[in-house]
Structure 1
């Protein structure tokens, strides 16, 4: 029994050892084959690094503001007797918007005008009598004062009536109506908004380093997602004399015609100031850039000889670059590349340095400086 158990144990050990040895030989053969195996080349699209004359521009983000904009409010308390405007309508300066109840003031005005007429008649009579030496100079002065006081009381009532007759202070477009007929308004209650929308201001900030190249009259191009295919042309009309001590930015104001009123107060806008100078820049398609927190890079295609086969291959070299501005589908590169370098233009996120590649530009992205995307 013991002899049979010992033989069984030895047999198991031999079998296990044979299996382990076989597997080790297989793993060693696989490792040797992997060491001599080269990965198949990746198919990529490419484009050469080009040198272009780009007009010098200053880009910024800004906001649209109306040239004139107010919230029309009640200057005095009163009851709304007439609404003379429609929400969103265009009005001219002086157009009636709201009429408050002035019945009490109108009655007071009639009494004040009667008093003023009587005071004027007394003053005229006193002026005739002073020439005949019938009354004293003091009586004439008192009559003059009473007449002027009566006129002032009438003018004060007229001013109150005018304040309760609410008119447009300037031409523009009205906002939503915030009051109703018969409503009792308190002093300062909002009635509607009034905005002048043609032209409009576009306010933006630029770094102090760019202040020297800006001047009133410089051309600006404004775009907004509210009108994605429209470029609004304007000019710089004012530059703030102060620099923000926190951001070191300078506030700039441009005036932009807005005949169709596509730009509205409060809109976000992209601003590009076009400078008269032009610079030569190296440009690559934006799809060639691999953006990363530690630095932006591109993959440059180089020809190298395979040390094993002796054949010349195209392989990738990852090159870190410093980027400049962007125009259309292109990005300017300020350092890291030279004209004529061939860079990969698609699928850069899945590539790595040293990978052999094959160039196939049949499906290469069509990069343009002024792309005009079609509706899809």
Structure 2
């Protein structure tokens, strides 16, 4: 009986020591967590830093948008119908030329000599015909002889016209007014029929060709106003109007081709440029509007994080707002903006950047010194 008492006493002492050790360990971990939390709050890392924007109504003009290509009203690569040696280049690269202005002359000396010979033969035939006509009137020659003289005269005149046309082809003229491009042809060079001499483009007015889906065809009509801009002149907008709508829809893409004509008196637009085309359709609409960066997409739909009051305090004792995720129905887009059809109300404060690190209840630090793009008509930025 006396031997069991010391054993029980030792067990009690050991349990007290183990309990004390566990208590000290738990207390240390609690103190450690408290100090870490305090340190994070002191360093401003307890909340996620985000930017914010207030949901507000804006007036939108519905538009159809497309990417098109500019095309000259009239454009051609000037060539020659006949072969020959270049004698003279009568234009400068990049020059504005008139219709009928001489661009190039080929060597035509032998052709002109041949023309002079044929003209002399035609004049002789004319003399013979005139003399035989007088003799026929006095019955000195037969009608068959006079008919032969007539046919000979017509043949000689036709040969003169044919040779004159050949001589004219040795002088290349501008078929219409416009601007010539850069030529690589030089005097003394031999060119063959079909060889390109220079490009000629009539660029005022200028056309823009673009395509739109067949679903939008009902909103289009000839004469409708269009606005065009290019990356070359990012701050300029060029006005024009729809000139023609293709009566056939492409059976592969189900798109319809549209042609619009633009004023280009300043010659800023050139054929081959790509262009962004916008057409105003319908009446103005009012939409709740947010920057597109505010929308996050997942398998369940589109969401935004609304900023709500919270009970989390920072190191200065200030209450920090928290994030709350809500589903929204986005509508049409305009530049950097998107319309919100359902899920938000006017005046709501939402997160516009920094959503990747958020979840419901995350404390927030709002810093709007650098905001995401929110322009209805953005322009390319210089690098």
Aligned counterparts of 1:23 and 1:88: Cα–Cα separation in 2:
92
Give matches, 1:246-285, under 5 Å: 246-285=252-291
1:175 aligns with 2:190: no
Aligned to 1:102: 108
1:88 aligns with 2:94: yes
- Classify the secondary structure of the residue corresponding to 1:236: strand
Aligned to 2:351: 344
Aligned counterparts of 1:23 and 1:178: Cα–Cα separation in 2:
94
Please report the TM-score for the alignment, with normalisation by the length of structure 1. Answer: 0.82
Q: CA-to-partner distance for each residue in 1:291-342, whole Å, 9 max, x for gaps?
A: 6798654322245678xxxx99543215354341214x42223454443332
State the Cα distance separating 1:80 from its structure 2 match.
0.4
Aligned to 2:15: none
Please report the TM-score for the alignment, with normalisation by the length of structure 2. Answer: 0.81
Identify the match of residue 356 of structure 1 among 363, 371, 383. Answer: 363
State the Cα distance separating 1:64 from its structure 2 match.
0.7
State the Cα distance separating 1:132 from its structure 2 match.
2.3
Q: Indicate the RMSD between aligned Cα atoms, in angstroms.
A: 3.3
Q: Is the 8 A contact 2:234 2:380 kept in 1?
A: no
Alignment gaps of 5+ in structure 1:
1-17
Aligned counterparts of 1:126 and 1:287: Cα–Cα separation in 2:
97
- Classify the secondary structure of the residue corresponding to 2:283: strand
Q: Is the 8 A contact 1:298 1:343 kept in 2?
A: yes
Q: Is the 8 A contact 1:318 1:352 kept in 2?
A: no
1:217 aligns with 2:223: yes
Give matches, 1:298-317, under 5 Å: 298-303=304-309, 314-317=322-325
Aligned to 2:144: 138
Identify the match of residue 170 of structure 2 among 164, 189, 192. Answer: 164
Q: How many residues align?
A: 351
* Residues 1:71 and 1:125: Cα distance change in structure 2 (over 3 Å): same
State the Cα distance separating 1:30 from its structure 2 match.
5.8
Q: Is the 8 A contact 2:334 2:377 kept in 1?
A: no
* Residues 1:125 and 1:312: Cα distance change in structure 2 (over 3 Å): same
Aligned counterparts of 2:120 and 2:352: Cα–Cα separation in 1:
90
Aligned to 1:50: 56
Identify the match of residue 333 of structure 1 among 332, 340, 361. Answer: 340
Q: Is the 8 A contact 1:322 1:336 kept in 2?
A: no
